[in-house]
Amino acid sequence: MWIKRGLVLILLSSLLGSLSGCATTPTEVAKEKKDNEAARINTELATGYIRRGDLSVAQEKLEKAIKYDRSYVPAYTTLAVLMMMLNQPIEAENLYLEAMDIDPRDPNLQNNYGTFLCGIKKYEEAVEQFEKSLKNQFYKNREVAHANIGYCLLQAENPDFNKVEKHLRKALKRRPNMPSAMLAMAELGLKTNRYLMARAYTQRYHSLTKASAESLWVQIQAEHALGDKKYFLEISQKLLDQFPESDEVDKLMELSNL
């Protein structure tokens, strides 16, 4: 599923009900309930199709879900994710904005919209959405917003490293084994010349989840800066073996002057 590396997206298909409107008669209430259930089922089916890579059928299901219930937020957000997978950011943003019109105060939706904005490099607007979610006292996934703020600020042209670290540490305080926050801390270590910190967080990251080309590249840079030839060669070989076609391999070749 599409997602900008390092950001955490909360899919809403099973978390939210419809914000249905003004049904008054028993017949209207029954129809509204039936339509809401149809929207939910189609959205859940679409999520399954996305996971299997059948994107055209997923799109059909999501469009059908919205026709059944135009106030069912998960259909809009899941379709927005799908539009990004199809490289259609304008359509994705329009869907997020429609969802925000339906439920502008939902913190999970604010997080997802912020994730989208960060992914298209609208960093200030993204952080604004994450901060809105944190203002909601009932928001349970606060570590997600803190981690996303830290990551997103880190990608900006002139990041406030103190603010980045503050939010990432808050995320890790709430969830000590949060991989996305660990990898962002490792990247922060690189950007602030704290290479032992970068090494430590990538090692923790790799102990919890499968290595990615990005995470291996972060550790390679740390080992190179620390002058540890053994670990540099060991991690470099992992990158070459596991992700031979990745952009990170090209960066490694450039770093190694090969």
pLDDT in tens, 203-253: 999 999 999 999 999 999 999 999 999 999 999 999 999 999 999 999 999
Q: Work out the angle at residue 196's Cα, subtended by the Cα atoms of residues 142 and 206, and round it to the nearest 5 degrees.
A: 60
Provide the phi-psi class of 60: left if phi over 0, else alpha when psi is between -120 and 50, else beta.
Answer: alpha
Q: Is pTM beyond 0.85 here?
A: no
Average pLDDT over residues 74-86: 96
Q: All domains of the chain, ordered by start, with CATH?
A: 181-258 (1.25.40)
Percentage of the chain with pLDDT > 70?
90
* 205, HSE (Cβ side, Cα atoms, 13 Å): 25
Average pLDDT over residues 97-115: 94
Average pLDDT over residues 97-119: 94
Cβ neighbours, 10 Å, residue 92: 23
Q: What is the pLDDT of residue 206?
A: 97
Q: How far apart are CA 168 and CA 188, in angstroms?
A: 10
Q: How far apart are CA 200 and CA 189, in angstroms?
A: 9
- Comparing C-alpha atoms, which of 225, 186, 229, 232 is closest to residue 209? 186
* Mean confidence (pLDDT) of the chain: 91
pLDDT band of 14, cuts 50, 70, 90: very low
Q: What is the pLDDT of residue 24?
A: 63
5 pLDDT above the threshold of 60: no
pLDDT tens-digit readout, 31-52: 888 889 999 999 999 999 999 9
Q: How far apart are CA 37 and CA 18, in angstroms?
A: 9
